[in-house]
Amino acid sequence: MHREPGEIVGGVDTHLDVHVAAVVDHIGQILATRSFPATPAGYRQLLAWMRRHGDLRQVGVEGTGAYGAGLTRHLVGEGVEVVEVNRPDRQRRRRRGKSDTTDAEAAARAVLSVDATVIPKTGDGQVEGLRALRIARRSALKARTQTALQIRDLILTAPDHLRTQLQPLETSERAERCARFRCGDPTDPVQATKRALRILSRRYQQLTSEITELDDLIAALCAQINPALLGAKGVGPEVAATLLVIAGDNPERLHSDAALAALCGASPIEASSGRTIRHRLNRGGNREGNNALWRIVLVRMATCPRTKDYVARRTAEGRTKKEIIRCLQRYVAREIHSLLVNDHTIITGTDLRHRRQHTHLTLADAATALNTCQNAISRLERGLSHNTDLATRYHHWLQQTA
């Protein structure tokens, strides 16, 4: 990128309490460095200080999704282009040493040399709220699993009559029965065990209620943010939420489907040398995103006729199942990128229900014609589920019967 004289580039090493900033000119010469408090007032002071040194075009920020999130939002709001910068590599740190000032200088120079080009998430829209809900859900799931294991282990060492009653039951049934225990004197080991089981079981039930509530909130928010993504085959609320959070509130920062594939670790990496031309597996990227693509692929391998035909063809060519899944993940990444970046016209369940009622057709008629159950049609019409393939077939069938 060509830089004009007078243009400057900033770099910031972010921390909990203090941000260290550096400014370099168009040829990479350090103009100044300074520390600022990590507060809204400090953000304003930092930006004003940088602009006093010249025409500020870009700022490289370390930790845009952590300590630098507040500063990133402030800079973007003031019209400054922010670039996400990774920490300096270990070899450079061993050679030049480590300090906050050198990290800030390295951030500025990484932007100047176009080594850093990643646009950070804005973190100011509905997807940011979705991210917060997923954090609460993940912690509730982890706590519930831990509680279930503690209930299991207590039953394992409980007196014989308790173990005989509870061990054959499923976890939810154990929690329901133990939550109703009447406990006596805790100095008695049996009563103390019953009291512990009652406390843990009620905790399990409370966490289950939290997870159910969060699941409903996440599903509703995904449907509001991107119903087309939620309606894609193999994409449920959890997978959709994962992909939306990875892309952020500004998915256009992913300039191509290859960028999304690389971000999710689904792009092959060249490993050629001399006469050897080959690619290797990408073990980097966002592993949650990779898992989301993997789950979509598994669903389609089991239910999608086109995917089944592809698997059969590639298997006949001698490909292993793992290799086929990796190829499908790359294809799915291309489709998901289009759904994330572009606006897609969707068929709403309310419109389908009105058209069905206008033609005096019943749910049973629709279910029979579409080879599905009435509950699936009802949930689609009420907006409780999203299935683009079913909605499209339903729409075409209504047009034919009108």
288 & 382 share domain: no
Q: Which CATH number does the domain housing residue 393 bear?
A: 1.10.260
Counting as low any pLDDT under 70, the low residues of the chain are 1-3, 89, 92
The reported pLDDT for the residue numbered 2 is 58
**Residue 161, CB-side half-sphere exposure with 13 Å CA sphere:** 3
Q: How many domains does the chain have?
A: 4
Residue finishing a domain among 225, 259, 284? 225
Cβ burial, residue 111 (10 Å; 0-12/13-18/19+): buried
Give the 3-state secondary structure of residue 318. Answer: coil
* Residue at 269 is within a domain: yes
Question: In this structure, are 315 and 372 located in the same domain?
Answer: no
Integer Cα distance of 214 and 199 in angstroms: 23
pTM for this one? 0.85
Do 67 and 31 belong together in one domain?
yes
Which residue, of 341, 357, 389, is where some domain finishes? 341
Chain segment 187-224, per-residue pLDDT in tens? 888 899 999 999 999 999 999 999 999 999 999 899 88
Same domain, 159 and 97: no
pLDDT at 273: 84
User: What pLDDT, on the 0 to 100 scale, is given for residue 328?
Assistant: 95
Residue 232 lies in a domain: no
Could you report the per-residue pLDDT of 123-160, keeping only the tens digit for each? Answer: 888 999 999 999 999 999 999 999 999 999 999 999 88
Residue 267, helix vs strand vs coil: coil
Do 61 and 10 touch, CB atoms closer than 8 A? no
Residue 231 has a pLDDT of 87
Q: How confident is the model at residue 194, as a pLDDT?
A: 92
* Residue span of the structural domain in which 96 resides: 7-112
* pLDDT for 1: 56
**CATH number, position 94:** 3.30.420.40
pLDDT score for 3 = 65
